[in-house]
Amino acid sequence: MNVTGSVLEGNKAEADAQQELTDGFHLVIDALKLNDITTIYGVPGIPITDLGRLAQAEGMRVISFRHEQNAGNAAALAGYLTQKPGVCLTVSAPGFLNGLTALANATTNCFPMILISGSSEREIVDLQQGDYEEMDQLAIAKPLCKAAYRVLHAEDIGIAVARAIRAAVSGRPGGVYLDLPAKLFSQVIDAAEGQASLVKVIDPAPKQLPAPDAITRALDLLKGAEKPLIILGKGAAYAQADDDIRALIEKTGIPYLPMSMAKGLLPDDHPQSAGAARSLVLKEADVVLLLGARLNWLLSHGKGKQWGAPGSKKFIQVDIEPREMDSNIEIAAPVVGDIGSVVAEMLKGVGPDWTPPPATWTGAIREKVETNIAKMAPKLVGNTAPMNFHTALGALKQIIKERPEAMLVNEGANTLDFARSIIDMYRPRKRLDVGTWGVMGIGMGAAIAAAVETGKPVLAVEGDSAFGFSGMEVETICRYQLPVCIVIFNNNGIYRGTDTDPTGRDPGTTVFVKGARYDKMMEAFDGVGVNATTPDELTRAVNAAMDSGKPTLINAVIDEQAGTESGRIGNLNPQSTIGKKA
């Protein structure tokens, strides 16, 4: 008998037993935590159920939703608020597809987000042999996001997560897809080897300094302008260069117009705000500085009657993406760089000798602002029932004024269009809405992300139609006891609750159940439900909810005839003249 051999074999077996191992589950969690990502939004299921459980056990916050699209919207808005990629975790195939809508929306809006989905095994998918929820998810995701990666080996998880983070936040932010086949999670490797494979991303969103001659060109244009205007987009809010942006506006004296999610970068009641004189400034301005805003459909592509006579104005555009320049019309002064660096460089050129815009221009804007505000004021008061959009929003306008740190989430057709012009904002990144696509259904995901990421009370102002896309997440809000107050503007339908079926067979295509009580939904999950029929009742209910921090849903009864077709973008909704009664 070889005693020495037996001893050596015994020692090896003991050493193997003592060897510390790790697996794909833990490596994904460790890679995220190493890069300061501590929250996951998602829906559990095959094959990622244990990933959520283990992440929670490792100290991460895991918010489980009722639908992946809502979880994805939450992750996207978390990315916007924090400048770190929000993470959405989904199951394979249908769950992945549900999350994909949010990923595409995040990319369009330049929100940093990572969609992590479990998937079927490659060898079966590639031969199309009919695996459980078989789908080539990577191929489907690629056209709809900034980047897409698949990981097949546990030792590559660290580098894959690092690449996903960098892709999501660098340059123009956006969505990234990370495909993790089921077999990956159970792969076991040496713990030390696994730890060594993790990557801490250094400077994931490096500054991109503008060219000096681009800054000079832009400043020269502004100096020579008789009627200059600055348009602030949500990119300016995302940049978190709040102090410098305010300094640039105030030192130059140039009026500014905030897009909806840029409201609050400077208070809406600031003397240079042209928000209430939008039509005037867009038509009359001769030089327009676009700061984090794009000349897409939200600004009529920079042309048409809204912008006055063709060729009547020159544009300065600040964007980190060079290809955005001249996308619709000629940009006279393109400035390529990150907004923080560009604004800092522009400020250097605004010295004590800077000449502010002529008083004729700023005075005309101020007069128009005051006239329009005075004209709107009587519409916002009154305590009649049923409420209309103006009286209900007048009540909420005052609440936000008294609670400027609260988060406002807003979606709908009329509910969105009226709210963004009526409710003033006073702090940056306090307003979250439908963004570039104008897509409905972001409401509950955005509200949950706002509560989780900021810890502030959230007021979600929803159209009854918009709420329907994500309404089941009221259970999620109650389950996690989030300080969210939802106000549903209930006018019995889409746009209005007055359509009828000419045949008399069914309800009109835009009509919901009359007199629905959405507040009862919240009560079903042990939240607070309130039915409000007047502005005074609405005010009391919202203040009570915001003070208590309890999940609350208020059914705000709105006159079913108060809405307009497609809100303020009815021109985008073609109307048939065939077969309609005169």
pLDDT of 180 strictly over 50: yes
Which of 5-9, 265-269, 540-544, 568-572 bottoms out in mean pLDDT, i.e. has the lowest? 5-9
Considering the domain architecture, whether residues 389 and 485 belong to the same structural domain is answered as yes
What residues have CB less than 8 Å from 1, skipping those under 6 apart? none
Considering the domain architecture, whether residues 417 and 355 belong to the same structural domain is answered as no
Q: What contacts 24+ positions apart, CB below 8 Å, involve 359-363?
A: 361/226, 361/227, 361/228, 361/255, 361/284, 362/253, 362/255, 362/272
Going by pLDDT thresholds of 50, 70 and 90, the confidence category of residue 4 is very low
Considering the domain architecture, whether residues 365 and 487 belong to the same structural domain is answered as no
Q: Could you say which DSSP state residue 416 is in?
A: H
Considering the domain architecture, whether residues 389 and 353 belong to the same structural domain is answered as no
Three-state SS sequence of 113-144: EEEEEEECCHHHHHCCCCCCCCCCHHHHHHHH
Domain end marker among 146, 173, 197: 197
List, for residues 47-57, the tens digit of each pLDDT value: 999 999 999 99
Considering the domain architecture, whether residues 290 and 421 belong to the same structural domain is answered as no
Per the structure, the count of domains in the chain is 3
List, for residues 427-466, the tens digit of each pLDDT value: 999 999 999 999 899 999 999 999 999 999 999 999 999 9
Considering the domain architecture, whether residues 119 and 160 belong to the same structural domain is answered as yes
Considering the domain architecture, whether residues 73 and 165 belong to the same structural domain is answered as yes
Q: What are the backbone dihedrals phi and psi of residue 122, each rounded to the nearest 5 degrees, phi first? A: -60, -45
What residues have CB less than 8 Å from 30, skipping those under 6 apart? 22, 194, 195, 198
Task: Calculate the average pLDDT of the chain.
Answer: 94
- What is the pLDDT, as a whole number, of residue 80? 98
In-domain check, residue 411: yes
- What is the pLDDT, as a whole number, of residue 133? 83
Considering the domain architecture, whether residues 340 and 435 belong to the same structural domain is answered as no
In-domain check, residue 260: yes
CA torsion sign, 537 to 543 to 548 to 552?
positive
In-domain check, residue 431: yes
Q: What is the distance between the alpha carbons of residues 367 and 143, in angstroms, rounded to a whole number?
A: 48
Considering the domain architecture, whether residues 160 and 225 belong to the same structural domain is answered as no
- What is the pLDDT, as a whole number, of residue 579? 60
In-domain check, residue 579: no
In-domain check, residue 578: no
List, for residues 366-378, the tens digit of each pLDDT value: 999 999 999 999 9
List, for residues 71-119, the tens digit of each pLDDT value: 999 999 999 999 999 999 999 999 999 999 999 999 999 999 999 999 9
Residue 485: give the domain boundaries: 381-571
Residue 242 sits in a domain whose CATH number is 3.40.50.1220
Domain end marker among 143, 168, 197: 197
Domain end marker among 162, 197, 232: 197
What Cα–Cα distance (Å) separates residue 260 from each residue in 2, 44, 146, 467, 576? 81, 34, 25, 20, 31
Considering the domain architecture, whether residues 243 and 313 belong to the same structural domain is answered as yes
Is 3 buried (19+), middle (13-18) or exposed (0-12) by CB count in 10 A? exposed
In-domain check, residue 8: no
Is 208 buried (19+), middle (13-18) or exposed (0-12) by CB count in 10 A? middle
In-domain check, residue 135: yes
- What is the pLDDT, as a whole number, of residue 63? 98
- Both tokens of 413, joined, read 């057709």
Can you tell me the mean pLDDT for 556-564? 93
- What is the pLDDT, as a whole number, of residue 578? 75
Q: Could you say which DSSP state residue 272 is in?
A: T
Can you tell me the mean pLDDT for 525-536? 98
Can you tell me the mean pLDDT for 234-248? 98
Q: What is the distance between the alpha carbons of residues 527 and 478, in angstroms, rounded to a whole number?
A: 6
In-domain check, residue 337: yes
Residue 155 sits in a domain whose CATH number is 3.40.50.970
Angle between helices 414-422 and 389-402 (to 10 degrees): 50
- Both tokens of 546, joined, read 């915001």
List, for residues 282-307, the tens digit of each pLDDT value: 999 999 999 999 999 899 999 989 99
pLDDT of 357 strictly over 60: yes
> In 3-state terms, what secondary structure has residue 357?
coil
Considering the domain architecture, whether residues 359 and 315 belong to the same structural domain is answered as yes
pLDDT of 571 strictly over 90: no
- What is the pLDDT, as a whole number, of residue 582? 40
- What is the pLDDT, as a whole number, of residue 106? 98
8 A C-beta contact, residue 538 and residue 556: yes
Can you tell me the mean pLDDT for 488-511? 94
Considering the domain architecture, whether residues 235 and 189 belong to the same structural domain is answered as no
- Both tokens of 110, joined, read 């330049």
List, for residues 196-211, the tens digit of each pLDDT value: 999 999 999 999 999 9
Largest Cα span, the chain: 106
| Among candidate residues 360, 169, 332, the one with its CA nearest the CA of residue 255 | 360
Rg (CA), the chain: 27
